[in-house]
């Protein structure tokens, strides 16, 4: 069969692809979401279960997504449809792409709000800085921000506009340059913050909190959240990685590239945890305080560290960029899919972006005007996040891995992966066919209480 070629050209090099995928993977998920969900779920066992999910479920699905994307070389809906038909299955596999787009809408709606918070913190660090502020004053800064819906709406609007701008231009032009300098700079700054935490925080306490596992305390709900975090942080299960895989040149090793991205992403999340929890513990803060965690701990570090006044704006600028490159990945599958129906990319990005912006108001108001509205015991934000991250992404990932492992025949997948049919290939295929789907199912069933009813746990 003749190979399809990408309609949008290719990444200029393997490095460019690695950078783009890691730009999508590394974002608020690592630095904002990971520490706060780890804190809420008691650290330790949660963190280890998350790392397990990353390598046992996330890695084979990452490889599957890139592989399917490159095979189809279209937007995720068309790719799943075309490759599905080609493999003698059904065109309704395209629905996986549709569900991914909906997940992307939901996630971006709150992601952009948090992106707006980073803009606010960039502003604070540039104007007053945090130097000399006490923990109480830093807490006050955050709660004042949350209580000001007008300001958050404005910042959310700016963040969405930035995202629409790049997606409207076409990612392969905008993204490469952005990520090329972002990643190294972010890693350097995290390194500096880590040395601060080692010197000034309760580092051994932080390490204990993150890695000392008490598996008896791990609830089914926490396991679901840990799995959701693995999908969220790796951008899996919604077609973002598939869309980037579509531009990958032939001959680039999908498995090695995916492994590199998964490793870097996980290290960055763990380092973020190792920075934040020693500060939390040294200052008597609450690890389980929720989405404000990063915004209340890092300023505290900057307030007392040498050159904190200089480093704070650099850090929040980098966090903003990292969030931006991820937000682009969240919007891309939708923009590309609608564009394929003969619309201009700019107008598509704008219209979809405005819809997502409006959805984001729910998250904003759940921190102030609608704080009392609770559904199933959670705020509006928690419900949107839970549905998209813990349910829809793993479900999308499950379907993707079943597609890669069962629908695509051995010839197609081994040809596309280009690693022959040796042990490496067989390991991937075993994980993709059996281990990943069954693990996702088990976590779902466990969270739904079904394993308990059957007397299995």
Which lies closer to ligand PHE via its Cβ, residue 300 or residue 328? 328
Report the nearest approach of ligand PHE to the CB of residue 37 (Å): 12
Contacts of 270 (CB under 8 A, 6+ apart): 47, 51, 210
CA distance 202 to 389: 31
Query: Strand, helix or coil at 90?
Result: coil
Q: Is the distance from CB of 382 to CB of 197 less than 8 angstroms?
A: no
Stretch that binds ligand PHE, among 146-154, 162-170, 228-236, 417-425 (CB under 6 A): 228-236
Which lies closer to ligand PHE via its Cβ, residue 280 or residue 327? 327
Contacts of 236 (CB under 8 A, 6+ apart): 58, 61, 62, 65, 230, 393, 396, 397, 400
* Burial class of 250 by CB neighbour count within 10 A (0 to 12, 13 to 18, 19+): exposed
Q: Is the distance from CB of 168 to CB of 344 less than 8 angstroms?
A: no
Which H or E element spans position 78? helix 76-86
Which lies closer to ligand PHE via its Cβ, residue 319 or residue 447? 319
Which lies closer to ligand PHE via its Cβ, residue 76 or residue 170? 76
Query: Strand, helix or coil at 29?
Result: helix
Report the nearest approach of ligand PHE to the CB of residue 29 (Å): 2
Query: Strand, helix or coil at 375?
Result: strand
Stretch that binds ligand PHE, among 21-29, 272-280, 344-352, 413-421 (CB under 6 A): 21-29
394 binds ligand PHE (CB under 6 A): no
230 binds ligand PHE (CB under 6 A): no
Query: Tokens 């299995």 sit at which residue?
Result: 456
Report the nearest approach of ligand PHE to the CB of residue 66 (Å): 14
CA distance 289 to 373: 19
28 binds ligand PHE (CB under 6 A): yes
Which lies closer to ligand PHE via its Cβ, residue 75 or residue 303? 75
Q: Is the distance from CB of 228 to CB of 55 less than 8 angstroms?
A: no
Of positions 233, 303, 363, 390, contacts ligand PHE by CB under 6 A: 233
Q: Nearest to ligand PHE by Cβ — which residue?
A: 29
Which lies closer to ligand PHE via its Cβ, residue 252 or residue 326? 326
Query: Tokens 């829809």 sit at which residue?
Result: 392
Of positions 17, 19, 30, 397, contacts ligand PHE by CB under 6 A: 30
363 binds ligand PHE (CB under 6 A): no
Report the nearest approach of ligand PHE to the CB of residue 362 (Å): 18
25 binds ligand PHE (CB under 6 A): yes
112 binds ligand PHE (CB under 6 A): no
116 binds ligand PHE (CB under 6 A): no
Of positions 75, 118, 197, 326, contacts ligand PHE by CB under 6 A: 326
Q: Is the distance from CB of 341 to CB of 352 less than 8 angstroms?
A: no
Q: One symbol per residue from 236 to 275: x for binding ligand PHE (CB under 6 A), - otherwise; what is it? A: --x-x-----------------------------------
Report the nearest approach of ligand PHE to the CB of residue 378 (Å): 20
Stretch that binds ligand PHE, among 23-31, 171-179, 312-320, 379-387 (CB under 6 A): 23-31
Q: Which residues of 195-208 are buried (b: 16+ CB within 10 A; e: fewer)?
A: ebbeeebbbeebee
Of positions 27, 44, 58, 168, contacts ligand PHE by CB under 6 A: 27
* Burial class of 172 by CB neighbour count within 10 A (0 to 12, 13 to 18, 19+): middle
In angstroms, how far is the first alpha carbon of the chain from the final one? 48
Residues in binding contact with ligand PHE, number by CB under 6 A = 15
Of positions 29, 69, 220, 437, contacts ligand PHE by CB under 6 A: 29
* Burial class of 135 by CB neighbour count within 10 A (0 to 12, 13 to 18, 19+): middle
Which lies closer to ligand PHE via its Cβ, residue 167 or residue 305? 167
CA distance 179 to 322: 8
The site for ligand PHE (CB under 6 A) is made up of 24-25, 27-30, 107, 232-233, 235, 238, 240, 326, 329-330
């Amino acid at each position: 069969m003749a190979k399809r070629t990408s309609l949008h050209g290719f990444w200029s090099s393997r490095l460019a692809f690695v950078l783009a995928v890691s730009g999508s993977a590394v974002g608020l998920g690592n630095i904002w979401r990971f520490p706060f969900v780890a804190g809420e779920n008691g650290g330790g066992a949660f963190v280890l279960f998350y790392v397990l999910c990353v390598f046992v479920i996330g890695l084979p699905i990452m490889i599957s997504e890139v592989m399917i994307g490159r095979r189809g070389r279209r937007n995720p809906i068309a790719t799943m449809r075309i490759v599905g038909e080609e493999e003698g299955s059904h065109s309704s596999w395209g629905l996986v792409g549709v569900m991914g787009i909906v997940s992307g809408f939901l996630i971006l709606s709150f992601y952009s709000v948090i992106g707006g918070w980073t803009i606010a913190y960039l502003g604070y660090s540039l104007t007053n800085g945090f130097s000399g502020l006490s923990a109480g004053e830093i807490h006050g800064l955050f709660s004042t921000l949350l209580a000001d819906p007008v300001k958050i709406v404005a910042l959310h609007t700016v963040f969405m506009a930035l995202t629409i701008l790049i997606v409207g231009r076409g990612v392969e032009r905008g993204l490469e340059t952005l990520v090329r300098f972002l990643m190294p700079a972010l890693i350097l700054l995290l390194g500096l913050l880590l040395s601060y935490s080692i010197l000034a925080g309760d580092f051994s306490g932080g390490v204990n909190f993150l890695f000392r596992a008490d598996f008896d305390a791990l609830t089914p709900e926490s396991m679901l959240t840990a799995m959701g975090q693995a999908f969220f942080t790796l951008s899996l299960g919604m077609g973002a990685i598939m869309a980037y895989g579509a531009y990958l040149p032939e001959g680039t090793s999908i498995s090695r590239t995916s492994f590199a991205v998964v490793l870097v992403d996980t290290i960055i999340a763990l380092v973020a945890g190792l920075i934040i929890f020693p500060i939390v513990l040294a200052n008597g803060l609450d690890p389980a305080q929720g989405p404000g965690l990063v915004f209340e701990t890092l300023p505290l570090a900057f307030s007392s560290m040498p050159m904190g006044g200089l480093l704070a704006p650099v850090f929040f600028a980098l966090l903003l960029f990292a969030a931006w490159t991820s937000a682009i990945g969240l919007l891309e599958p939708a923009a590309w899919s609608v564009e394929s129906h003969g619309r201009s990319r700019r107008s598509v990005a704008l219209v979809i972006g405005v819809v997502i912006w409006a959805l984001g108001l729910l998250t904003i108001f759940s921190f102030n005007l609608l704080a009392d509205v609770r559904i199933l015991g959670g705020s509006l934000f928690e419900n949107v996040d839970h549905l998209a991250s813990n349910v829809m992404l793993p479900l999308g990932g499950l379907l993707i891995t079943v597609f890669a492992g069962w629908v695509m025949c051995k010839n197609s997948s081994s040809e596309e992966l280009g690693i022959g049919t040796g042990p490496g290939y067989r390991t991937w295929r075993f994980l993709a066919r059996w281990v990943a789907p069954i693990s996702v199912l088990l976590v779902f069933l466990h969270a739904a209480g079904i394993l308990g009813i059957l007397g299995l746990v």
